[in-house]
Chain A
Amino acid sequence: DTGVSQNPRHKITKRGQNVTFRCDPISEHNRLYWYRQTLGQGPEFLTYFQNEAQLEKSRLLSDRFSAERPKGSFSTLEIQRTEQGDSAMYLCASSLHYNEQFFGPGTRLTVL
């Protein structure tokens, strides 16, 4: 059984560009979560899906952020018009119902 995978692992972009990240959860995990971690801090929750339904979004998720999980399997997180403050590690996790969450390796975003 493979773990959670994320692509790309690193992304460098210029301010104002759009970026998209992908997360593939552990197979048959129905819950998928996105978190963001800035340097020296613990991860912070952004949003989560149960199957294909996006059930909760954090106040951290501004209008420039959008997440989808179209078929209840992989998920994408898009950031439009990136800002330097968006530079962070974006982490994806999955779980089976209300159980233990398992994290992917993360996508490190640098906005120049």
Chain B
Amino acid sequence: GIQVEQSPPDLILQEGANSTLRCNFSDSVNNLQWFHQNPWGQLINLFYIPSGTKQNGRLSATTVATERYSLLYISSSQTTDSGVYFCAVEANAGNMLTFGGGTRLMVKP
């Protein structure tokens, strides 16, 4: 099946710093989503981005489908950005999301 790798696995930032999270996948995809998992376990949708670039406030994402990667940018980080960020893809031949291992982000005040 499709493989999804996220980097870095852990990230510690000072409040106000910018960061880039990366997601690499091993095959063509129909769907790519970025999620933020809060401390209670809820997965919050950030972006639905099989290709191209999108922005939502301090967050933006870019997927280059031909090169099989996606990037999530967080600017001017806040302590509330802390948590785990997941990338998940739906392969062309699949009907479910395959998740990466996540990036655990801690933003210090």
**Residues in A lying within 8 Å of B, measured CB to CB:** 33, 35, 37, 41-45, 48, 55-56, 58, 89, 91, 93, 98-103, 105-106, 108
Taking CB atoms and an 8 Å cut-off, the chain B residues in 26-83 that contact chain A are 30-31, 33, 35, 40-43, 45, 48
CB within 8 Å: A-B pair count? 51
Contact partner, B99, options A43, A56, A99, Cβ 8 Å:
A43
Interface size counted on chain B using CB atoms at 8 A: 21
Q: Which B residues contact A (CB, under 8 angstroms)?
A: 30-31, 33, 35, 40-43, 45, 48, 86, 88, 90, 95-102
* Contact in complex: A101, B33 (CB < 8 Å): yes
Pairs A-B, 8 closest by C-beta atoms: A42-B99, A45-B96, A100-B48, A103-B43, A106-B41, A105-B42, A43-B99, A89-B41
Majority SS of interface residues in chain A? strand
Residue of A nearest to B49 (CB): A100
B25 to chain A, nearest CB (A): 13
Q: Are A41 and B101 in contact (CB under 8 A)?
A: yes
Set A41, A101, A106: member contacting B42, Cβ < 8 A: A106
Query: Quick one: closest B residue to A103, CB to CB?
Result: B43
Q: Known: A42-B101, A101-B33. Is A56-B95 also a contact (CB below 8 A)?
A: yes
A32 CB, min distance to chain B CBs, angstroms: 11
